[in-house]
Each structure stands twice: as C-alpha cells, then as structure tokens.
Chain A
C-alpha cells in the first residue's frame, strides 16, 4: 500500500521542482519517506523538515507539513501583530503567513530567492504557514537524539539564549556538526493568539511588507 501512495507529491507542489532539486544537491531519498512507513520501521524514528533561520537550523515534524512552496504575493493584514506577515493565495486557498523570524527574533524576514513558505496541514487549525529563510533536508531523528529544550538551553545558552518565544521550541536535536531546534508547530496558533491578545506595542510591519512582494 504505501508504495502506491505518492506521498511526495505534497512536497513538490512547488511550481519549479527542478530548480529546487538543483538547490538541494543532497539525495532526496529521505523526502519520499512517509511518516507512517517510518513508524513501521522503528517506532522512535520521526521525520523532520528542516529549515534555516538566521544562525540556526530548525525542524518541524514532517507529519504536520502540507507542502513547501515559493512565496506568492503577500497581502498585508493591517492591525495584525508584526509576526503576521499577511495572507497569500495558494491555488485558491487563503493562507495566513507567519513571520517566524519576527516571532523569534523580532526582526522581519527579508524575502529573497531562497525564502520559502512551509504550509501546515489543517490539523493545526485554519490554513497557516511560516516564512523560512531557506529550506533544508528532511532528517530522521529518534527520541534519544532529542533533548528537551530547557536543559539544552543551559548548555547552549550562547546560541539559544536569544530566543524570546521559548515555548515554541520543543527540544534540541543533535545532528552531526550542528544542532536542530525542534519547533512545536502545534503551539504556534496558541502562541500567536497570546500575542494578538496582548496587542503588544509593536510597529506594524505591513507598511514595508507591501513593498517586498516576492515573485
């Protein structure tokens, strides 16, 4: 059964897959592995979609990712907190774009040729996505490779101490050569909700965002 289901089509809804393939020179085999096949092989192994933001590599569970795509033209939403970048039209669906860079580092993400949108599956609530500086590979980690963030942050305080929205970070995965901050995507809606409720005095980013529409 799993073989006949082309799970990977979700990940190449991207209008220009060839280009993406060129960008990622590493073998793509990991990307075609279905979460449930993974769970059949070894119960502990989970797949993460990785992406880069500033100096860090992040990962979200692949199970909650619907697709990764180029950023369509953005429509800013006035009055929304700075972390809400606006709406995009994703093939007839209106999707909310969250600026993770702003959420974590209080600095709006610059849109360039590497910027991608990670769109989440409906299980996270209304259609929602995050802007990432560039997309990385998919990796598989087992639970033993992940340390809870609280303890991890003491050890790596120089790197991780910058993060203000600590609740979003679920843990730290140890990869060869670098660390992977595991994002708890399920907390994203509630985190945003708190921010909106607080109505913290942030300069709304919509004024400049409109000039950065990215094709």
Chain B
C-alpha cells in the first residue's frame, strides 16, 4: 500500500503538526455531527480539514492517510449534499477513521507497512466507503482489531537493544541529515538525465556509505543492508556514467524513503521487511550494469570501505559538511518554539519594566540616568534580536515543493519543471506555517489543472515541459509570493458559467464584475471547474482553503490569467503577524487601535463647517467629502450598544447627535466600501504587538484582538468589518456612490484629479495637483536658516531649499506667521519645498483652466476654486527657475528639435497635465498637439502624422492600455513610438505598459527626465528609419 514514507524529518514534523490541528477539528466536528447531522457549516469545515490532511499526507507520501482522508472527505461532501444521513453508527466509523489518521501521525509509528496495520487501515477505509455509499454501516467487527492495535507496539521487543541509546540517537540525527541531502541530489540527478553528474553521484554514494557505516556500528542490520544495496546501485551508476532515468530515481527515492522510515524507528528497524525494495534495487543494479565484469571491483571497493565503516562514516560525514550546499550547520543550534515564544514574552515584559523605570526616574537623581539610558538601548536591541529568532527563510517552506511537483508530474504523466527564487527571504515562523496549506494547494492546482500534458503543449506550440515559477520577494512590511505557470490559463467565461450553474452567484451579479474580479470568484467555497473529483484536486475546497488561510494572515490573493499562456497567483502576506502599525484613537476614556491597513485618511471638520457638512437621512448620518457622500459611524455609539443597531437605535442616534457637530473622523475602508468613523481624539501611530482576543470573547465581532500599549495599558484593536456590520451601515446606491454634480467632476477617477489649495500672501490662492506632492510638513519659522538670499531647512536630515511664492512669482509677500507649511514636490530630484502660510483643503481640479488671465513662468493657468481666483502652479518649473545654474536638457533637445520640428501628440484627460506637458514640449522646441482621451488620439493620428505619442493611462472613453494595443494592431502605427506618462508607478504597471506596446514609461512628472526620454525615443525612431 505504501512504499513511500516521509522524505525529510522536518517535513514530517510539519506534517504532524498540521495533522494534529486538523485532527482536532475533525474529532470535535464529527462528534458535533452526531447531535446536528446536517449542520452544513460544520460539514464544510470538516471537509476542509480532511482535504488539507489529504494534501499534506500526499506530500509526505502517507498513502494510507491520503486514502482515509479522501474517503472521509467524500462522506462529508455527500452528507452536505443530503445524499446520506449520518447515523450514530456512521459517526462511529468516521471517528475510527479519524483515530486511524491520528495513529499514522504518531512519531515512530508512521510507517504503515506491517501487515496488521494495513489490514486495519483497509478495513477502516472500506467502512468509511460503506458509509459514503449510504449502506448500513458494517458491523463494528473491525473495532476490536483496532482496539487491540497498540498491542504489538507494546509487546516486549524480542531483539536485544542494538547499541547504547546515545549512539543510536547520534546515528539517527546524522542519517537524517544525509537523507535530506540525498533527496535533493536525486532530484537534481533526474533533472539532468543522461549526463551523470559525477560530483552529485559521488556525494550520494558517500552519504549512503556513511549511513551504512553508522547503521553497522549501532547494529541496525536492515538499514545497513538497504543502504548497502543503494550504495551498490549508485556506485554502478557512476561507473557506467549512464542510465539514470526516472525509473532508477524512483527506485532510489523509494529506497531513501524506506531508509528514512527505518531510521525514524531505528530501535525496531530490524523487524521490518525490506525484501520488496531490495528486489527493486537489485533489478535496478542489473539494469544499470552492462557487463558482469564490472561488478567485482565495485563489490571489492565497497567491502574494503565497509571494513573501516565506523571511522569512515565519521570521516565522510565531516567531508560532507564541508560541501557548500550543506550550509554552516555548526553556526546554528536548534531551539524549541515554546522557548522562543517565552523569550519573546520576557523581552516584552522587560520593555514594560524599562518604560516604568524611565518614567519613575524622571524625578530621580542624575547619577542613575546614564545607567537607565543604557538599559533602554539594550532592551530595545534585545527585543529586536529576539524577534529576529522567529524569522525563517521561506526556502524552508519551498523545499518540499520540488518533491511535490515531481511526484504529481509522474503520477499524471506530465513533464513539469519547478523554478524557485527568493528562497532567502525571511518570514515570521507563524506566517510561514499558515502559508504552507495555501501554497501546497496552489502548486498542486498548477500541476493538476494549470499545466497541460506534453502532447497538448506541443500541439499548442509550447515546449513539452511545463514550467512553474515560485518566487518570493520582500517589499516594505509585506512579502510577495508568486506562483506562475505557463499552462492553459483560466477561461473567465468558464468561471462565469460554473459560478452561475453552481448557484454561487446570479448572472446579474456577474455582469458588474471585471475579468479580474471574476477570476477571484474561484476562491468561493464550493467552486470547482474540474468536471470530476479526483483525489488530487477538484472539489472546490482547495482555493477556499487558500483564501481562508490568507484572510487569517491578513494577506491578499490576486489571480491573473491569460488563456493559453498561463496563470499567475500572487500572494501578499505581512512579514510578521505579531506587529502591525496602528493608529491609536480615544473614545470616552479608552484607547482603541485602528489597523493602518484599514485607514484611508483622517478628516477634521472646522467647527464652523461642521454644521453645514454633516447631514443626515432619517437613520444615517453622512458627510459630503469632496462631493461624495460618506456614511458616518460614531464609534462611541457602537461601543455603547452591545447589540447590533436596529432601525430604532439608528434613528435615536441620529436624533441624539442632530444638533451637535462631530469634528473628527477617520475615513476607513472595508473592501471596496468606505465610511467615516467618528472618534473623540486621534492620539498617535504606534506599532503594536497583536494578541488574540480571549476565546470567550471571540463572538464580539467589533474587535480583532488586543494589545499592550507603551504605557502598559491594554487596548482593543478594532475590526472595521465587524463595526460596519454592528452599526448596520447602509452603502445604498444613494449613499455611497452618489456624486454631487457628476458633470462638474470629470476626474474623480484618480489622484491626479485632486489639487491642494493653499495660500501664501493675503490675496492669492494657489493650487498644486496632489499627485505632484510628496509630503506636506509643518514648519517652525524659527528653524529656517538663511544662506545669502536663500533659505534652507532640515527636513528628515536633508537640507531642503525653501521657495517662497513671492520670490518666484509676481505675487504679494506674506506677513510672518507661525507655523508655516512646506510642500515637498515629487520627482524633482533635489531637496526643495514651497512655503505656504495656510492650507485650505483639497478639491477637485476644475474642468476649465484659463491660460491667458495670469501669465507667468511657472503658472499653468488659473481657475475659480471655492469662489476665488486660483493660480495653478507647476512645481517642477518653479524649482528649475529657482536655480539658474540648473541647465536642464531642455536647451540641447530644443536645438536638436529645431532642425526639424517633431510633432508630438499629448493624450491626457486632465487639462492641467495636458497643458503642462504641452508647455514643456513647446518650450523644448517640439510641436505638440493635445487631446483628451484615447479615442480622440486615434482620430487625430488618422488625420495627420505624428512622430511620438505621449499618453496618460487612466482616461475616460479609451484608456492608455487600450490606445497602445489599438495602435499596435494597426500596421501604419506599429512603429510609432509610444510613451506612457502616468501617476501609476508600480512594477506591475510598467510591465503591463510594455506588454501593451509602450516604448517608454515615465511617472508624472519630472520635467527633465521626461524631456530626455522624449529626445531618446525620437532619436531611436530616426535611427530605425534610416536603417
């Protein structure tokens, strides 16, 4: 039944840990089923647990466990569909199955090979299958057998102890290390069939030899025999230099697994029967030995070696350790996880004690202060070092996948190659553990559904070998893991059909979803595109598990697929679960934490505006924020009402606060929705250590956990989803998505549409697009330093040049005020900021910009905003003008351009940017024409020739992606240079721009860089035209 057993002790340990958790779910769930047999949620979680065990068992090669869990899963599915009813007898059988699984996971008892066990397991499987098919449960005849099962284990060992326990222990741990390397090497060998990698073979040979020697030393004859047989095969392989094919590797892997199993239970290894595997190895040896003449030297050599076995074993082990791939094992020690956790807690306590000490010493004497400072620093260092101990390279998790992929490929007759990258990226151990299930499912999905068979691939014009790329990278506090295959991809239409057929969503629901959102539906519970259920996958449980685990991690899953070309799953998980950045707010006397990931912005309404801006329907308060209606929730009311709000409560809350102006709220997002959460006070940002809620308080959905703040006080972490639910916020059509005057706002589409309004002198009002501002800081005028006529300020350790609008523009000066505000622009390339005396608000960029009213260098135009004439500034131009020595590329490109006026088409929906870019180009000597969207651009291009197109991405009617694709499909525009100019700056967007056909990509807006790029693209084009 099973000739394969765990590959690697670490894997096995992981499997056991996983098994344990799932088993707990199974046994409690099955018991609960006895009382409520058709609790479908219960059945669902049972099904998922069984499915997870199945997956894990397959990886470590416990076929029996795979079968049992598969049958269990079948039962649960059938019960859920109402096909069978679970009686108490049925539950008995299921429980026996769960127990059998539990025994399989018991260390040292994992090997399911001895006859009694197999019989017992078969009986168990048959029973479960009977329950599944709805037959009366069989007589509990096998039960006594099960009950008597532990007996053989407890029976006194007839054979005398082979060696001292310490020696055996030493041997076992050494052998395990060798075996882990052996599996790796065997897989490497298989990837390069034919050309026998001498180094690799030699290493394998030495490892086996060491194991043989060690086994002989401690008296484990069976292991010694088996290792000897494997050694022979390996030796003959390296002699002949050929004949390494998958069959041989299969046999060797099976042998390795067998050795592993024996080693795991070294004390009883001699009782095991290894005749079958020995037989296979013998066949292998015969097959690989061309002439009998070759054999004697091999035998002689090995015998000679084995005569010095114990010594030689040590020797080879050491030399094995010197190989670079084995890593520097001597530099690490194993620490138990509870100990690490305890260290974490102690370090945390130490931090609190330190805090108390620091606080109490403020009044104390000066002599002790330096001591305390040192304590302070050391404590922080200690804490971060201890946190570091929990981090593990993601490669530890990835290590199991080559084997998974290989086995699945063999099983399904496919040829699959797995490439891994970023294995050194480190992750918190707990995150790593939670990732194990999702990744396994995704990899298996790729092998099973994603990749085609070799024939299908060849027919589709792809290489016969399918590729899966598994990579990890860190960015900020997040880890991104990508699983990419070059298989058949996912057809969105098929998903739509399945989702509707399965009754998971209605067709009407789907109309509104984009392709990408539709792809996301495959994570719905119960979804499966596979037409039949195999034990590999296809029950629609897997992706659900992936989603559930990721949700628990606070991670996200994105699916991207091109039919015929492949599928990419991108997982994004936090580096650690333990610490998250939060905003601390106060309501009444208590402090609460809002996770930063839920926060969009903080809004403070001025008292005089409060009355006018908070409005209410009968039962919902809303605020008009930049023209959109945002529902408001008062946190104090949510906390005061233990029960979810009903209409009456909601009405009374609105009435209660009707006369009163709220001033402070956080704009919070829940999925795609937004609402304002009114709090009493915003305290500060803090990185907090998350502790789960007490088990009994889990039903309180408004909180996701608790934490201890710097001052030692416990604070609760708010769960926004729970709060929305509790407060019964309605994101009705007329609340969330209403736009005040849709026609007046051409640009609610992206951040480029917003401007920041500010003043400097008494008169003029200025505006700068938010997209061009990196940061806004408050400045104390006393800190400004004067150097000649220039002013500077230290911002984040950088000496920043200050510009006053009245220095660079013909506007009125400002009276000295405190504080001043400093606008730090994006993409300027040197530290520079524009001073303002007051910040007014952000507002939508006006549709009409007058260019002729106020003409000045650095002013794009003017518009009426908030009833005042407002100057729209070009920060880049102002920055350039402030420094006459800065000669940008403008002059050179201008002179080039004068030779022949290049015609450039500027496509941008925002008038501000359109004019800005056109201005830059005009000034540089080009002839620029501007249009507002992709469709207009195509029309314009059809009418007259252009040398270059500069296009925004996010536009109405036809966006930049579509424009590029459209142009590339038409032969007359196939070689026209396209430059994307956008506020989107992610790598993914860059990639997409390239695929769509853009030749260049610039982020809005660094004038100098932009002009360089334009010149470069034009130069390239004329080169190409000449040749």
Contact = CB atoms under 8 A, between A and B. Distances in A.
Interface in A50-89: 72-73, 75-80, 84, 86-89
A165 B714 CA distance: 29
A101 interface: no
B221 interface: no
Given A75-B715, A77-B703, A79-B702, A92 B643 contact: no
B712 A89 contact: yes
A192 interface: yes
Contact of A75 (B588, B639, B691, B714): B714
A193 interface: yes
Contact of B708 (A92, A206, A210): A92
A119 interface: no
Contacts of B589: 210-211
A128 interface: yes
Interface stretch (B345-353, B418-426, B744-752): B345-353
Contact of B639 (A79, A88, A125, A127): A79
Interface string B694-727: 1111011011001010001111100000000000
A171 to B, nearest CB: 25
Contacts of B714: 75, 86-89, 94
A96 B697 contact: yes
Contact of B642 (A72, A79, A89, A126): A79
A80 B701 CA distance: 11
A144 interface: no
B352 A91 contact: yes
A79 B714 CA distance: 16
Interface in B625-678: 638-640, 642-643
A78 B691 contact: no
B694 A196 contact: no
Interface residues of B, number: 29
Contacts of A189: 695-696
Given A92-B345, A92-B708, A204 B696 contact: no
A79 B640 CA distance: 8
A197 interface: yes
A72 B712 CA distance: 10
A75, A91, A189: residue with the most chain B Cβ atoms closer than 10 Å? A75
Nearest to B639: A78
A188 B588 CA distance: 31
Nearest to A192: B696
A124 B699 CA distance: 19
A88 B713 CA distance: 8
A17 B714 CA distance: 25
A189 B694 CA distance: 11
A41 to B, nearest CB: 32
Contacts of A80: 642, 697, 700
A106 interface: no
Interface in A74-131: 75-80, 84, 86-89, 91-94, 96, 125-128
B713 A73 contact: yes
B696 A126 contact: yes
A84 B696 CA distance: 10
- Decide if the interface of chain B is mainly helix, strand, loop or mixed: mixed
Interface string A172-215: 00000000000000000100110011010000101100110000
A3 to B, nearest CB: 26
A193 B695 CA distance: 9
Contacts of B588: 210
B1027 interface: no
- Decide if the interface of chain A is mainly helix, strand, loop or mixed: mixed
A94 B695 CA distance: 12
Contact of B699 (A78, A88, A197): A197
B696 A79 contact: no
What class of interface size applies to chain A in its complex with B?
Answer: 20 to 34
B777 to A, nearest CB: 34
B332 interface: no
Nearest to A125: B695
B590 interface: yes
B346 to A, nearest CB: 8
B62 to A, nearest CB: 32
Nearest to B347: A92
B697 A78 contact: no
Contact of A126 (B638, B640, B695, B716): B695
A167 to B, nearest CB: 16
Contacts of B643: 199
Contacts of A91: 349, 352
Nearest to A73: B713
B355 to A, nearest CB: 11
B589, B697, B702, B708: residue with the most chain A Cβ atoms closer than 10 Å? B697
B694 A96 contact: yes
A57 B595 CA distance: 45
Contact of B590 (A76, A79, A84, A125): A76
A210 B639 CA distance: 13
Given A75-B713, A78-B639, A96 B696 contact: yes
A70 to B, nearest CB: 14
B873 to A, nearest CB: 48
Given A78-B702, A89-B712, A92-B349, A199 B694 contact: no
A78 B713 contact: no
A211 B590 CA distance: 11
Contact of A127 (B638, B642, B694): B694
Nearest to B703: A77
A80 B588 CA distance: 17
Contact of A77 (B348, B713, B716): B716
A82 B345 CA distance: 30
A182 B716 CA distance: 34
A114 B718 CA distance: 34
Given A87-B714, A89-B708, A89-B712, A75 B697 contact: no
Given A92-B708, A196-B699, A75 B590 contact: yes
Contacts of A75: 590, 706, 713-716
A14 to B, nearest CB: 16
Contacts of B695: 125-126, 189
A196 B696 CA distance: 8
A77 B704 CA distance: 12
A78 B697 CA distance: 10
B700 A77 contact: yes
A92 B697 contact: no
Contacts of A88: 714
A48 to B, nearest CB: 24
Contacts of B642: 78-80, 199, 204
B697 A196 contact: yes
A89, A93, A125: residue with the most chain B Cβ atoms closer than 10 Å? A89
Given A196-B697, A196-B699, A210-B589, A94 B691 contact: yes
Nearest to B345: A92
A210 B591 CA distance: 11
A213 to B, nearest CB: 9
Contacts of A211: 589
A96 B589 CA distance: 19
Interface in B332-365: 345-346, 348-349, 352
A204 B715 CA distance: 18
A79 B348 contact: no
B690 to A, nearest CB: 11
28 contacts: A72-B712, A73-B712, A73-B713, A75-B590, A75-B706, A77-B700, A78-B638, A78-B640, A78-B642, A78-B716, A80-B697, A80-B700, A88-B714, A89-B352, A92-B346, A92-B348, A92-B708, A94-B694, A94-B708, A125-B695, A126-B694, A126-B695, A126-B696, A196-B696, A199-B642, A207-B640, A210-B589, A211-B589
Interface of A: 72-73, 75-80, 84, 86-89, 91-94, 96, 125-128, 189, 192-193, 196-197, 199, 204, 206-207, 210-211
Given A89-B708, A125-B696, 16 more contacts: A72-B712, A77-B697, A78-B638, A78-B700, A79-B700, A89-B712, A91-B349, A91-B352, A92-B708, A94-B691, A94-B706, A196-B696, A196-B699, A197-B699, A204-B640, A210-B589
